[in-house]
């Protein structure tokens, strides 16, 4: 693809946007002539935060009203514009009353209520709060957090929109106690991604990662999200396979009134944009994330046919890199009256970007004293990425007691990576010429989709109980139809391919599917007063099926090249011409680093939970959960007779207790104790190898690997001074039996990553968070809000003295210190919004080392150096519809640096990659 192609794409998108803006403006002008509006909101219990269904909502002056649905939500019929009084009535609760609710023409006034029980009510008391189960705004998310039975922290769509965050991985890194590695895997409370679980709209997901079961957070575009909430303590109604936290992603919900939003953006990166760089061109449907040039596994029965089938392009042409670009559409509305209404939201997000790293260093030190390295290379990778995602959610209300939902999400990412690397002999780093010149090209497509049908039913005829059910299907695919590398070894002053150095062609395809069904039944009971306790029970069935197909082919020089040794020095495109097959190069099949495998990973769970108040200000939520885990891993595939399947069949009884002392109406003291587990990934119990990227360490499994058991304790004080504000201090402790860690072992001067069970581990930490409006200092500072959160974690792993020959090590991916800080400015009168965001994480171990062969020499750990980043975003609204925003990321120009400690040389840099500074200009139109 030449320079014009992205420009043509951008031009086409801009023309589409202008057309939509024109049509929408005309449509909007006609609609604003309406002289009526609505009142909408939610009604919840003041003490527990539970939604209150079938409450009567009356608009006094209009003489009309409605009932709350199973979620406590209401939406009145259309009423003339004006000021109204709203009353809420429900048996057992004091009547709530709100005066002066202003309805504007064509608008919807949002008013939420928290009701107190009759026994303690003050007559005529009206309480309006932000407490709601909708989490799109910062105030409502904090209100939900205050009423939640467990400790949780999160970010809302409102917060995400004020930052330059582009996906869920960026967003969740703003949460207290959370960091992100590789820009996509979450680390919660200092525990790596294996100790967290990810839920999408309450259901577990399939994963497109061949070596992990965790879902990468970069799959979910920020514009498609309503909130990202991390639950840090367990309750019986949630999965028990976590220790750090359960990250729940919620996609957009339909709005209370018609919304149409269009947005486009253009981005700049200091390392790539407007520079002339070696970037592989794209063509056909590549710009949609769909393979447009026929990348596929070629015919392997004949070497000539194989070379004819590959895309024989190795050296990218120099191309002027145009700005990154993005486009988004969001539309939502409700049809019909409230008691028989259909709500819907449709969102689309598209992005195209190019990145370049001028000097990406990889090194692996095996001698802790001399600093001797086993391997090393410097590469210059260029990557073009296309990602798009879509949400289509529907909600149907049938009366006040039944709601059905259908939620759909699909995301796709296509990444083309090319690099020229120079590998050197670490013992002779001073020499000018590298030992090996390596070319690599890789194309990867990742697709994720989830569809979920759910229902909520309020059964007044069955003790006012409620049933919530979900049927979910998710699928994740990862296709790698092209991953090839070619190595030229130095011979004097020239370079040629050699039989001693492999030239690899990988073809890898992953299909991961998850089916789940879950049912929750809640029954209110009366202890001290009407319906002040809740019995909740239910179950879950989850079936996951994974198929991983992989082949590796090796291309080497013929024993006697027919065209002589000079033929082996030809440039890649000439060397791999089809006529050279058999004459100068030969093809072989090797599967030692790409063995296919299949896996069935099933989970069955049942639970019983009690939610009660033995005293006026004490809430206890706890119970038991049993989980039965069944895993079958078939190395070589289900039909392969060469391997016996690896089987796991384990049952765990998990307990949890959460205590909440309401010191005041806005202040809680929480204490929790609970047991959880962490199960290995299917690939980790398969005795096969996997090579993620050329030049990096090979990963292998261990069929004897077992699951870890974790006992946890939490203590938290939290204060909510006013809506949108929070002050909290938390302490936590986690004690592990058989924790799973991944070690890096040097085997025959090749680094191999291997998972093992350590003997035990301990993790202790403290969290602090403050969110406060600065108007408390001076009235002129009312538009400013400051947020600071700080985490200190100290954990270690104890070895067994045999397979893991060390006393203790820090936990992998754990930073002792995490800091987030932000300063926000929001002026509703001028339409100006600005945010300055700071993030810091301390040094963390990325890979453990054990020993060099059988020498017993301890290999130094690979440590990622901590870094600070500063981001900013400024937006200005013009009129009611148009907004222009400017974002900046990594204003500190931080770099990724990894090192290993040695006795004589001190820290030796073994990984280095600059990130550059990025800017983005966005324009949006909303109606």
Give the mean pLDDT of the chain. 83
Q: Choose between 560 and 451: higher pLDDT.
A: 451
CB atoms closer than 10 angstroms to residue 777: 12
Q: Which pairs with CB-CB distance under 8 Å and at least 24 residues apart come from 127-130? A: 127/46, 127/96, 128/98, 129/723, 130/723, 130/724
Whether the predicted pLDDT of 1 surpasses 60: no
SS3 16: helix
Residue 469's Cβ-side half-sphere holds a number of Cα atoms within 13 Å equal to: 10
So what's the pLDDT on residue 5?
Answer: 45
Arithmetic mean of pLDDT, 603-623? 94
Confidence of residue 222 (pLDDT cuts 50, 70, 90): confident
Q: Distance (Å, rounded) from C-alpha 611 to C-alpha 613? A: 7
Confidence of residue 668 (pLDDT cuts 50, 70, 90): very high
Q: CA triplet 25, 27, 33: central angle to 5 degrees?
A: 105
Confidence of residue 594 (pLDDT cuts 50, 70, 90): low
Confidence of residue 583 (pLDDT cuts 50, 70, 90): confident
Arithmetic mean of pLDDT, 274-297? 78
So what's the pLDDT on residue 16?
Answer: 46
Tens-digit pLDDT profile for residues 746-797: 665 566 778 888 889 999 999 999 999 999 999 899 999 999 999 999 999 9
Whether the predicted pLDDT of 925 surpasses 80: yes
Q: What are the CA-CA distances from residue 447 to residues 133, 214, 443, 671 (Å)?
A: 30, 15, 13, 40
Q: Distance (Å, rounded) from C-alpha 231 to C-alpha 247? A: 6
Q: Choose between 256 and 780: higher pLDDT.
A: 780
Specify the DSSP element, H or E, that contains 754.
strand 750-757
Cβ–Cβ < 8 Å for 355, 265: no
Give Dmax over CA atoms of the chain in angstroms. Answer: 100
Q: Distance (Å, rounded) from C-alpha 184 to C-alpha 175? A: 14
Strand partners, 711: 675, 735
Whether the predicted pLDDT of 367 surpasses 70: no
Q: CA triplet 279, 283, 289: central angle to 5 degrees?
A: 90
Task: Tell me which DSSP letter residue 208 carries.
Answer: -
Segment of 60-69, 507-516, 845-854 carrying the highest mean pLDDT: 507-516
CATH superfamily label, 262-926: TonB-dependent receptor, beta-barrel domain (2.40.170.20)
pTM of the predicted structure, to 2 decimals: 0.85
267 burial via Cβ count (<10 Å: 0-12, 13-18, 19+)? buried
Q: Distance (Å, rounded) from C-alpha 679 to C-alpha 189? A: 18
Arithmetic mean of pLDDT, 798-819? 80
Cα torsion angle, 272, 276, 279, 282, sign: positive
Domain segments of the chain as ranges: 34-128, 262-926
Tens-digit pLDDT profile for residues 392-437: 999 998 888 899 999 999 999 999 998 888 877 554 444 445 788 8
- Phi first, then psi: what are they for 894, rounded to 5°? -70, 155
Q: CA triplet 618, 622, 624: central angle to 5 degrees?
A: 165
Strand partners, 101: 84
Q: What are the CA-CA distances from residue 803 to residues 186, 697, 739, 759, 813 (Å)?
A: 28, 19, 14, 10, 21
What residues have CB less than 8 Å from 403, skipping those under 6 apart?
A: 69, 70, 71, 395, 396, 397, 455, 456, 457
Strand partners, 813: none
CB atoms closer than 10 angstroms to residue 796: 16
Q: Distance (Å, rounded) from C-alpha 258 to C-alpha 343? A: 10
- For residues 591-616, b (16+ Cβ closer than 10 Å) or e, as one string? eebbbbbbbbbbbebbbebbbbbeee
So what's the pLDDT on residue 692?
Answer: 60
Count of all residues that appear for the chain in the document: 927
Q: Distance (Å, rounded) from C-alpha 119 to C-alpha 477? A: 56
Q: CA triplet 837, 841, 844: central angle to 5 degrees?
A: 160
In 189-345, which residue ranges form alpha helices assigned H by DSSP? 303-309
Please choose, from the candidates 791, 780, 765, the residue with its C-alpha nearest in 3D space to the C-alpha of residue 243: 765
- Express the helix, strand and coil content of the chain in percent, nearest 5 each: 10, 55, 35
CATH topology of domain 34-128: Immunoglobulin-like (2.60.40)
What residues have CB less than 8 Å from 456, skipping those under 6 apart?
A: 70, 71, 402, 403, 405, 466, 467, 468
Whether the predicted pLDDT of 34 surpasses 70: no
So what's the pLDDT on residue 26?
Answer: 44
Confidence of residue 254 (pLDDT cuts 50, 70, 90): confident
Q: Distance (Å, rounded) from C-alpha 67 to C-alpha 670? A: 34
Torsion of CA 472, 478, 479, 480, to 10 degrees: 180
Task: Tell me which DSSP letter residue 701 carries.
Answer: -
Cα torsion angle, 367, 370, 375, 379, sign: positive
So what's the pLDDT on residue 803?
Answer: 62
CB atoms closer than 10 angstroms to residue 805: 12
Cβ–Cβ < 8 Å for 770, 787: yes
SS3 864: strand
Whether the predicted pLDDT of 736 surpasses 50: yes
| 582 conformational bin, left if phi > 0, alpha if psi -120 to 50, beta if neither | left
Do 34-128 and 262-926 have matching folds? no
| Residue 779 CA, distance from chain mean position | 39
Q: Distance (Å, rounded) from C-alpha 221 to C-alpha 229? A: 16
So what's the pLDDT on residue 146?
Answer: 81
So what's the pLDDT on residue 841?
Answer: 94
Q: Distance (Å, rounded) from C-alpha 116 to C-alpha 61? A: 24
Tens-digit pLDDT profile for residues 115-174: 887 644 444 444 444 444 455 567 777 777 888 888 888 888 888 888 888 788 888 888
What residues have CB less than 8 Å from 547, skipping those under 6 apart?
A: 510, 511, 512, 596, 598, 637
| Residue 715 CA, distance from chain mean position | 27
Whether the predicted pLDDT of 556 surpasses 90: no
Task: Tell me which DSSP letter residue 51 carries.
Answer: B
Cβ–Cβ < 8 Å for 810, 796: yes
Strand partners, 719: 667, 727
So what's the pLDDT on residue 389?
Answer: 92
Whether the predicted pLDDT of 374 surpasses 80: no
Please choose, from the candidates 430, 421, 428, the residue with its C-alpha nearest in 3D space to the C-alpha of residue 372: 428
Specify the DSSP element, H or E, that contains 192.
none
Cβ–Cβ < 8 Å for 734, 716: no
So what's the pLDDT on residue 135?
Answer: 54
So what's the pLDDT on residue 112?
Answer: 86
Confidence of residue 30 (pLDDT cuts 50, 70, 90): very low
Confidence of residue 365 (pLDDT cuts 50, 70, 90): low
Confidence of residue 33 (pLDDT cuts 50, 70, 90): very low
Cβ–Cβ < 8 Å for 648, 629: yes
């Amino acid at each position: 693809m030449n320079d014009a192609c992205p420009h043509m794409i951008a031009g086409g998108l801009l023309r589409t946007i202008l057309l939509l803006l024109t049509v929408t403006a005309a449509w909007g002008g006609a609609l604003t002539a309406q002289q009526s509006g609505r009142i909408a909101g939610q009604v919840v219990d003041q003490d527990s935060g539970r939604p209150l269904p079938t409450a009567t909502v009356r608009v006094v002056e209009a003489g009309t009203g409605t009932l709350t649905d199973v979620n406590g939500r209401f939406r009145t019929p259309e009423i003339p514009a004006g000021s109204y009084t709203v009353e809420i009535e429900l048996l057992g609760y004091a009547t709530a009353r709100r005066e002066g609710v202003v309805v504007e023409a064509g608008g919807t006034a949002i008013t939420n209520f928290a009701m107190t029980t009759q026994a303690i009510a003050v007559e005529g008391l009206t309480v309006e709060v932000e407490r709601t189960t909708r989490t799109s705004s910062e105030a409502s998310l904090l209100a939900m957090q205050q009423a939640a039975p467990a400790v949780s922290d999160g970010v809302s769509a409102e917060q995400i929109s004020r930052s330059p965050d582009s996906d869920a991985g960026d967003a969740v890194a703003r949460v207290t106690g959370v960091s992100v590695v590789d820009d996509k895997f979450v680390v919660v409370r200092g525990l790596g991604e294996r100790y967290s679980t990810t839920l999408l709209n309450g259901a577990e997901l399939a994963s497109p990662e061949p070596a992990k079961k965790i879902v990468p957070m970069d799959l979910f575009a920020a514009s498609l999200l309503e909130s990202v909430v991390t639950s840090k303590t367990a309750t019986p109604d949630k999965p028990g396979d976590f220790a750090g936290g359960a990250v729940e992603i919620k996609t957009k919900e339909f709005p209370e009134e018609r919304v149409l939003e269009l947005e486009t953006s253009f981005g700049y990166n200091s390392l790539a944009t407007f520079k002339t760089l070696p970037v592989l061109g794209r063509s056909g449907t590549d710009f949609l994330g769909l393979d447009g040039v026929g990348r596929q596994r070629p015919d392997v029965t004949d070497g000539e046919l194989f070379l004819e089938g590959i895309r024989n392009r190795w050296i990218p042409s120099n191309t002027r890199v145009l700005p990154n670009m993005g486009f988004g559409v969001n539309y939502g509305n409700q049809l019909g009256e409230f008691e028989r209404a259909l709500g819907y939201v449709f969102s689309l997000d598209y992005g195209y970007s190019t990145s370049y790293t001028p000097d990406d260093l990889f090194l692996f030190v095996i001698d802790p004293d001399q600093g001797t390295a086993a391997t090393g290379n410097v590469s210059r990778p260029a990557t073009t990425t296309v990602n798009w995602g879509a949400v289509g959610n529907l909600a149907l209300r049938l009366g006040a007691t039944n709601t059905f939902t259908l939620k759909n999400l699909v995301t796709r990412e296509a990444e083309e990576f090319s690099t020229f690397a120079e590998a050197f002999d670490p013992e002779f780093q001073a020499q000018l010429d590298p030992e090996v010149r390596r070319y690599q090209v890789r194309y990867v497509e990742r697709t994720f989709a989830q569809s979920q049908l759910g229902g909520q039913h309020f059964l007044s005829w069955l003790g006012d109980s409620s049933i919530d059910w979900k049927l979910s299907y998710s699928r994740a695919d990862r296709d790698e139809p092209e991953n090839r590398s070619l190595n030229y070894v130095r011979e004097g002053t020239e370079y040629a391919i050699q039989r001693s150095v492999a030239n690899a062609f990988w073809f890898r395809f992953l299909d991961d599917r998850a089916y789940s069904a879950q049912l929750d039944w809640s029954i209110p009971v009366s202890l001290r007063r009407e319906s002040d306790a809740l019995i909740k029970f239910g179950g879950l069935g989850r079936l996951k099926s994974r198929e991983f197909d992989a082949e590796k082919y090796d291309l080497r020089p013929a024993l006697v090249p027919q065209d002589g040794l000079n033929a082996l020095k030809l440039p890649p495109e000439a060397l791999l011409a089809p006529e050279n097959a058999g004459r100068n190069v030969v093809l072989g099949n090797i599967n030692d680093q790409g063995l296919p495998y299949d896996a069935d990973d099933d989970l069955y769970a049942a639970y019983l939970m009690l939610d009660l108040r033995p005293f006026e200000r004490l809430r206890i939520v706890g119970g038991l959960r049993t989980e039965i885990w069944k895993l079958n891993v078939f190395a070589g595939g289900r039909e392969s007779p060469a391997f016996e399947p690896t089987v796991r069949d384990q049952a765990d009884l998990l307990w949890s207790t959460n205590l909440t002392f309401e010191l005041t109406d806005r202040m809680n003291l929480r204490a929790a104790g609970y047991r959880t587990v962490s199960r290995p990934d299917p690939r980790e119990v398969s005795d096969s190898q996997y090579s993620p990227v050329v030049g990096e360490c090979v990963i292998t499994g261990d069929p004897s690997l077992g699951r870890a058991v974790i006992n946890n304790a939490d203590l938290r004080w939290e204060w909510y001074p006013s809506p949108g504000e929070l002050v909290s201090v938390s302490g936590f402790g986690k004690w592990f039996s058989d924790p799973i860690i991944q070690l890096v072992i040097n085997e025959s001067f090749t680094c191999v990553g291997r998972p093992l069970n350590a003997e035990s581990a301990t993790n202790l930490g403290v969290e602090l968070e403050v969110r406060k409006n600065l108007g408390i200092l001076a009235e002129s500072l009312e538009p400013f809000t400051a947020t600071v959160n700080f985490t200190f974690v100290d954990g270690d792993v104890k070895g067994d003295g045999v397979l893991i020959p060390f006393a203790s090590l820090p936990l992998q991916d754990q930073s002792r210190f995490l800091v987030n800080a932000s300063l926000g400015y929001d002026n509703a009168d001028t339409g100006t919004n600005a945010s300055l965001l700071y993030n810091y994480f301390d040094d963390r171990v990325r890979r453990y080392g054990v020993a060099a062969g059988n020498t017993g020499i301890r290999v130094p750990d690979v440590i990622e150096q901590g870094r600070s980043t500063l981001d900013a975003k400024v937006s200005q609204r013009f009129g009611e519809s148009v907004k222009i925003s400017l974002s900046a990321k990594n204003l500190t120009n931080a770099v990724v640096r990894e090192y290993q400690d040695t006795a004589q040389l001190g820290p030796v840099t073994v990984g280095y990659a600059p990130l550059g500074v990025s800017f983005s200009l966005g324009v949006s139109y909303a109606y």
